[in-house]
Structure 1
């Protein structure tokens, strides 16, 4: 069976085509298999979104999120691939899990020795098919403790392209593709140099949490004073960015800066790029749409690390997106329980969830706000992060050209049949309604968590369907 999305717009060329998607018979856009044609003239087909920065809390903190709920949330938001950060419990560092470690039971009772093994074989262990692709980011230091660099002898074999003839299908599907201690910056000194050397030897890049502070809960300034809580100066971000840029200049290792939030850090990154250094950076929907003044409205639901910065810094985020300094947008999807987020500014954990509303928030702020075009937002959320993660996007026009046998579809439109692709498994796509107006309802999320300041926001632009490997993985009717 198949469903044909008639008159759908191709995201980058504007051509309207008929897109044929194989289906197992489930209703599509409110229609069953007895009505296999869908009027898709309002819709756009684009490469699936990719998120290089998610926390799924599995193993060790599954009251917050699991691989199942996290992947379902990603698919619902239009994401076809994600990169799992290493701050699981135990950490993803390649070390054998010890029985007395927090979270060890989930790994050891599954018959696995390491968290890498557990996550790679998660679907078989839990008898589930996850709807999105996922890669693993290995911890830069053992246990993410910052004291000793993690050992490539423990995790280097899992890197994409290494000894692939001896790996099983799950190991091939979920490789280690990056290094990070996300949640904290890698400490300066010998440890950082060893981490960079490990990246150089394995061909991976370092994802750097570009911010470090010992005290503070929110951005330093009038809002912190009004709330009566200690502030975090913006220089804490620049200190890590400037330090790492100097080491990139020395070593040539690619460093990717996470969740950049300040004007001064963007200035440093902009200059490094002009110099030709291998640095990239991301920002997140919350730094695009919010500033520290919003803490007065949303409270700890908007507490994060780095903290929401000043309105001037938010303007700098928008400027950095507009001029291309920002390479991509990542959600930093960070689930917490509502009980934790109600502990107050000093004790509540940092972070918000974002996979299911990121496109709507970014479209409302960036496209409706005249900062970027629809196509550029797709590049920021899909094409660029997918390329960095090693998942090149399907070139839709090339695929259409290869199938074009001179016989047009209805009304002269060309046809792209995903079932006829030479490699249908490469067809990771999102179907977008760029004009849909909708209200974010956290209670409707697939995620286990509800910690978002965007609940109740009216936004535009929505992922209507997610296609992974040429098959529907999620539908939003």
Structure 2
């Protein structure tokens, strides 16, 4: 057992002790208290913060079909290392996560699914830990494709995936199906196409799930249109490619009442449109990502294709507008868009290199440096943006530490005495997710120490502040660098 002494609760400042089962935890190399896995250990946690675990509703784990980039095992380990207890897996797997039966054994990725005896990618991912006999140290939900094969030609069929939703036929589901429901719809990587738009909104309306929209579309271009694209000699992407999708989907939300959540918003003009929609009372939410807060397109000159994204990094004015949108509450949450690629793929040049970076293992530090140290928001607000609000989008509740303490505290405790949260004795611990944070810790990002298979990040070597030191799921320590 591991006991953390004198740790501060993030939203009340109460000082408590916490006891957790450390057996089987993933300890980072060099952690001082690995003996906690084999016996009892006490740690003085004075100065550390206990918060609800981070949640990321926008990750790509590349399993099945591209496990040379990332697997469920490595992706979940990366998430736990970054302080995340819950993630939402995007549907651009291979085959796509559209609920369609996998029938052609020669199709890319199909053999991986069929080898487990599962019929489709949703079943494959729901039963991944049991079928592969591996522990997965975070909880995860699944996002179903908006269109079949994510091809944008025909909307998916509700009868092929509705059974995977929470609350639909739960009495017939096994524990793995119950633990990993479908909670949203998206064609992430691409915006919903005009030819499927009405049908996809009808799917969202009937299912009650939010549409998580990749709010950007371009047919040409590789980086943001502007002085940097011209200096690089690379075709540019105008900023209104994002705005057009935002305005189109706001209009559909007004018409249908469907909740639209815009991913990785990156331009001032899009934030203006979202502000107006929210003021109108429309069911619109949005996120941005650490890289849009911390980098402008000028980073392309320093980091090359490691800074190639979709949407692309925008101007410095847009970067500042993104920080302001976080500060004024226009941005509802922060998500990483964790997108693993091999370095070989990233070295193909601006026209051919894939878009995206990994982000789970340094997101908190990068965001803390930019937003908290930069004076935009408080430590407490950053936790809300990385934990409470993402959990709400996914249809879950972040762990209320004070409510848990009130429920679990021994009634015979002396009045005013420090409270103990003994997680090992909690009866119903399934929904508990916690992170231990060193909010002021200074550290350098070293991608070679990442638990992800991938290394495609421009943040390598950055000096940041704020670091997750431990991740707790239920009664158990999932990850520790204490």
Q: Do these two structures clear the TM 0.5 threshold for a shared fold by scoring above it?
A: yes
Unmatched runs of 5 consecutive residues or more in structure 1: none
Q: Which residue of 2 aligns with 1:96?
A: 101
Work out which of the residue numbers 379, 387, 402 in structure 2 matches 1:382: 387
C-alpha separation between the residues in 1 aligned to 2:236 and 2:24? 55
2:44 matched to 1:39? Answer: yes
| Match of residue 219, structure 2, among 202, 214, 217 | 214
The alignment status of 1:335 with 2:335, answered yes or no, reads no
Give the C-alpha shift of residue 403 in structure 1: 2.6
- Map of 1:237 onto structure 2: 242
Please report how far the alpha carbon of residue 401 of structure 1 lies from its aligned counterpart in structure 2 after TM superposition. 1.7
Helix, strand or coil at the partner of 1:308: coil
Which segment is superposed worse, 28-37 or 126-135? 28-37
User: Does the CA-based 8 Å contact 2:49-2:438 persist in structure 1?
Assistant: yes
Check the 8 A contact 2:52/2:398 in 1, yes or no. Answer: yes
Q: Are 2:25 and 2:478, in contact at CA under 8 Å, matched by a contact in 1?
A: no
| Residue of structure 1 equivalent to 2:162 | 156
Deviation of the 1:324 alpha carbon: 0.3
Q: Matched residue of 1:424: which SS?
A: coil
Deviation at 1:201, TM superposition (A): 0.9
SS in 2 for 1:292: coil
Residue 112 of structure 1 pairs with residue 118 of structure 2: yes
User: 1:407 Cα shift?
Assistant: 4.9
In the alignment, does 2:323 pair up with 1:321?
no
Cα distance, 1:23 vs structure 2:
2.8
SS for the counterpart of 1:449 is coil
Change (3 A) 1:72 1:25: closer
Q: Is the 8 A contact 1:366 1:372 kept in 2?
A: yes
Q: Which residue of 2 aligns with 1:141?
A: 147
Correspondent of 2:191 among 179, 182, 185: 185
* Distance 1:195-1:231 versus aligned 2 partners, 3 A rule: same
Distance 1:459 1:96, change over 3 A: same
Q: Give the aligned partner of residue 9 of structure 1.
A: 8
Contact 1:49 1:78 in 2 (8 A): yes
Secondary structure at 1:280 match in 2: strand
1:167 paired with 2:201, answer no
- The CA deviation at 1:420 is 2.9
Q: Cα distance, 1:351 vs. partner?
A: 0.2
Is there any run of 5+ residues in structure 2 with no aligned partner, and where?
none
User: How far apart, in 2, do the equivalents of 1:399 and 1:261 lie?
Assistant: 37
Secondary structure at the counterpart of residue 426 of structure 1: coil
Q: Secondary structure at the match of 1:194?
A: helix
CA distance in 1, matches of 2:469, 2:412: 29
CA contact (8 A) 1:138 1:176 kept: yes
Report SS of the residue matched to 1:345: coil
RMSD of aligned Cα (Å): 1.5
Is this contact kept in 2: 1:399–1:421, CA < 8 A? no
Q: Name 2:307's counterpart in structure 1.
A: 302
Shifted more, 400-409 versus 274-283: the winner is 400-409
Could you tell me whether the CA contact under 8 Å between 1:408 and 1:415 is conserved in 2? Answer: no
Q: Check if 1:396 corresponds to 2:401.
A: yes
Distance in 2 (CA, whole Å) between partners of 1:13 and 1:355 is 27
Give, in angstroms, the shift of residue 26 of structure 1: 6.3
Name the structure 2 match of 1:437.
442
- Residue by residue over 1:323-346, the C-alpha shift from the partner in whole angstroms, topping out at 9 and shown as x without a partner, is 000000000000000000000001
Is 1:30 aligned with 2:35? Answer: no
Moved more, 17-26 or 347-356: 17-26
Contact 1:426 1:470 in 2 (8 A): no
Q: How far did residue 58 of structure 1 move?
A: 0.5
The TM-score, its normalising length taken from structure 2, stands at 0.96
Deviates more, 1:18-27 or 1:7-16: 18-27
Contact 1:418–1:427 (CA<8 Å) still a contact in 2?
no
Q: Is the 8 A contact 1:248 1:254 kept in 2?
A: yes
Compared with structure 1, are the counterparts of its residues 102 and 247 closer, same or farther at alpha carbon in structure 2 (3 Å cutoff)? same
Q: 2:24–2:478: 8 Å Cα contact kept in structure 1?
A: no
3-state SS in 2 of match to 1:137: strand
Kindly tell me: are residues 412 and 348 of structure 1, through their superposed partners in 2, closer, same or farther at Cα, counting changes over 3 Å? Answer: same
1:35 Cα deviation after fit = 5.2
Structure 2: distance between partners of 1:211 and 1:74 = 26
Among candidates 239, 263, 284, match of residue 268 of structure 2: 263
Aligned counterparts of 1:439 and 1:212: Cα–Cα separation in 2: 35
Counterpart in the other structure of 2:349:
344
Matched with 1:87 is 92
